[in-house]
Every structure is written in C-alpha cells, then in structure tokens.
Chains A and B, each alone.
Chain A
Amino acid sequence: MTPRYSAPRDLVGVTAALADGDGVVVGGGTMVVPDMTHGRTRAAALVDLSRAGLAGVTAGADGVVVGAMTTYTDLVEAGVPLLSSVATGITGGPQIRNRGTAGGSACYANPASDVPACLVALDARMRLASAGGKREVPAAGFFLGGFRTARRPDEVLAEVVLPQLGNALLGYVKFKLAESSWPIVTAATVAVPGTALRVVVGGAAAVPVVVAVDRPSAGSGDPAWRDHVREAVHTALDAAEPWSDVLAPAAYRRRIAPAIAARSAAHALEEDR
C-alpha cells in the first residue's frame, strides 16, 4: 500500500499530521527508510520532518537545546559537550553523520546505539510535542525497552535539552569489533567534582543503566577499584532487562560491561589535568 506523505512546514503542521496516531516520523531517514525498504516498518502515513525547521543548536538559560533534526555533522560543528565527540564516531561514515540525528537515534531506541546512554548520562530532557500540547520527559524515563520509548504515536520529539554541566568531566568509550558495526557495549561517564562518578552503560541491557561508581583512589588500573566497578555494574544489570542482538548475547555484554565502564571512567578522569 502506498503511504500518504507530508512534509509539514512547522511543528504545528507536524503534530497535526501525526494526530491520527498512524504516522511514521521520518527524520534523517537513516534507520526508518531502510526499515521500510526491508519491510520491517509499514507506514500508513509518512511525516517528513525535513522542512519543519527543527534543526539547530541554541544555548539557553537552562542549557543547550538541540533541535530534533540537528544532524551528527551539525553536532560536531556546534561543539556540544559529549554529544559532539560521540557524533564523530557514529558508525556509517560521513554520509550517515550528514543525515542522521541524535534525536532520531533516541526515538529509534536501538539499545546498542551510542545516543541513549549519552542522553541519560547528560540528564537530557526530551521535549515531545503533539496536537494536544508539549511535555518533557527525562531521558532516564524516555527509554522503556529495546526499540521502545515514552513517545506516543501522535507525538514528535521536537528538541532535546541538555542541562548545564558546570565543570563536570566527561568520558565516553564504546566497544565494537568492526568499524562498520553497531556498538556492542557503550559507557558514558559524567564526573562532577566532589561526587561519585555517574557511569551510564548502554547496550548491556534493553535500556541504559545508571551506575554510581566510586572514584579510583589508586588509579583506574587498581584491581580493588576494578572489582568495585564490576560489582556495581553487575548489580545494576541484575535489575535490568537483558539485551541480546545478532552481534552478541546478553551474557557476553554483561561480561565486558564492567571493563567498558572502567575505561569510560578513566577517559573522563584523564581530562582532569
């Protein structure tokens, strides 16, 4: 069946087009278009965001606002904490980074993608819009499971708000076995001076998992600290839904997650020169 197609000129038009609840949102298209090609997504209506004016990064009083259609390339150029460096490493080459968006990746919610854990680590707020109004959902509550989010079918992600991080140090490490592969496990670390490290592990469970990790007193190679990280990560994973995909089973992800978390913490702390 041929889907209906619209490319609304503004957010009001987008929410009107989605009001029936049967629309598939097309952002950068890098995930949803191949999914349609291969029959994994069937759309009665396509709502194309490319003309709705949702791209751009602006600094406001309550943080940095990233429009949903801001591409990874735009993010690199804008210099957004953590997300810009993550954007440079998004799988798929410059062609994908020129089209794909962090907002789209969040809404697609592949557990193994880079963006979800980063947004949770940054305490991002997801601004959703529908014909009935707008609401904000914290990133920690946005990801409900593999490929499932709090976005309703009649809603569009309009913006992502990244709160001010002050003088926090940031780290990000991902593990994958081939350049063109999805990540298998990711870890984003936010180190606010004087507090425990906040490490968010992605890919090891169906949703990002937040782990509080003590700062290493004898360096990140200290076996005692490594034991602490392993215990903290495994305790957090025990409370979460496991995740497997074609690249790795859940047990493998659980096994390597502490090492990736420790590397991410070390990556953040190494910036503290």
Chain B
Amino acid sequence: MTGMRLTVNGVDREIDVDPSTLLVHAIREQVGLTGTHVGCLTGDCGACTVVLDGRTAKSCSVLALSADGSAVETVESLADGDELHPVQRAFWDGFAFQCGFCLPGMLLTAKELLDSTPEPDDAQILAAINGNLCRCTGYNTIVSAVRQASGCARTCAKETPCQES
C-alpha cells in the first residue's frame, strides 16, 4: 500500500491505496463517500463522474495514485446542508431521475456545462451529457432539468418560457 493525499470536497485526506486501486474505489471505500457510483468500470456510463482538479473525469478510469495531491469534488459537494444546489433542485422538481444510479454523474456534468455555458441550447445539453448513460432512459426530463437549471430559465418568467438559443 502507498500513502497518498486527496482534497475531497475541501477536506484534506490521507489514504493508503494499492497501485491498481481506482479513484472511484478510493473515494467510496477509503474516503467513505458513496455518492459516486460504480457502474460499468469501462468509462462508458459516467456514473462515477467526479470533478478532478476542476474538470469532470470518470473516476473508474483514473488510478487513485494518479490523483495524488489533487482536489476532488463529488456529488456530496453540491448541496449546502439541506439546501439543494440549483442543478439538484431542477432535477428534483422536474422528476429528472428514476432509479438515480446515473444521477451523480448527470449532476456534475450538468454543473460543468452550466459553469462554462450558463444558457445552453438543447444540442449543447445533449453534447454535454453524451458520456452519461441513463438506463431508465429518462433523457427528456434530464435535458428539461438542465434547461430549467440554466441561467436562461432562471431569468425568464415561468409564464413565458424562454425559447431562445
């Protein structure tokens, strides 16, 4: 086992891992945060998405040791206590998840999109989530929720939904 450091959701952690330990397993089993899901372990499904040094990554495809010294944000970083993040609130209000397995990845990917593109069109939303598979196939409500969470939705009166972009 090798010692390594991770800053997870702002908290410095020291953990011991094997060279072949995946980042997703380190987060779940060593750090103890299980909101990050283990799906395919092939990099396809996106359920293991975390933010690694400011960019989303599929944590099943990252060796834990490659992240030594890095800052990781997981789905647990989004809510402030009981106060949901606007992206989470939009998913909740819009029934944008069913089984919830893809949800951590969808939320973090949507947040990355909205941080860089506050008012995305549907094509940009679809492009952003094309590495996240929802096996309940609830994509329409997911796209609606991301649209709802966007600056466009928040600045438009609900009676006259914004049709621009």
A5 to B8, CA, bound (A): 23
Q: Does B42 contact A (CB under 8 A)?
A: yes
When the two chains form their complex, are residues B63 and A29 in contact, meaning their CB atoms are under 8 A apart? yes
When the two chains form their complex, are residues A95 and B18 in contact, meaning their CB atoms are under 8 A apart? no
Main SS class of interface, B: mixed
When the two chains form their complex, are residues A99 and B19 in contact, meaning their CB atoms are under 8 A apart? no
A95 to B131, CA, bound (A): 7
Q: Which residue of the partner chain, among B20, B63, B105, B109, contacts A2 with CB atoms under 8 Å?
A: B20
When the two chains form their complex, are residues B20 and A99 in contact, meaning their CB atoms are under 8 A apart? no
When the two chains form their complex, are residues B19 and A4 in contact, meaning their CB atoms are under 8 A apart? yes
Find the residue from B55, B105, B109 having the highest chain A CB count within 10 A: B55
Binding-face segment, A31-39, A208-216, A229-237: A31-39
Contacts of A28 in B (CB 8 A): 61
Q: Does A180 contact B (CB under 8 A)?
A: yes
A209 to B29, CA, bound (A): 47
Q: A95-B58, A99-B58, A180-B133 are in contact. Are A48 and B63 (CB under 8 A)?
A: yes
Closest residue of A by beta carbon distance from B41: A37
Q: Does B90 contact A (CB under 8 A)?
A: no
Contacts of A48 in B (CB 8 A): 63, 65-66
Q: Does B60 contact A (CB under 8 A)?
A: yes
Q: A73-B55, A179-B130 are in contact. Are A3 and B20 (CB under 8 A)?
A: yes
When the two chains form their complex, are residues A2 and B61 in contact, meaning their CB atoms are under 8 A apart? no
When the two chains form their complex, are residues A3 and B19 in contact, meaning their CB atoms are under 8 A apart? yes
When the two chains form their complex, are residues B44 and A180 in contact, meaning their CB atoms are under 8 A apart? yes
Q: Does A96 contact B (CB under 8 A)?
A: yes
Q: Which residues of B contact A (CB under 8 A)?
A: 2, 18-20, 22, 41-44, 46, 49, 52, 55-58, 60-63, 65-66, 68, 105, 109, 112-113, 128-133
Can you give 23 A-B contacts (C-beta < 8 A)? A2-B18, A2-B19, A7-B66, A29-B62, A30-B58, A30-B61, A34-B41, A34-B42, A37-B22, A37-B42, A46-B20, A46-B63, A91-B130, A92-B44, A93-B128, A93-B132, A94-B113, A95-B57, A96-B131, A99-B58, A180-B130, A180-B131, A180-B133
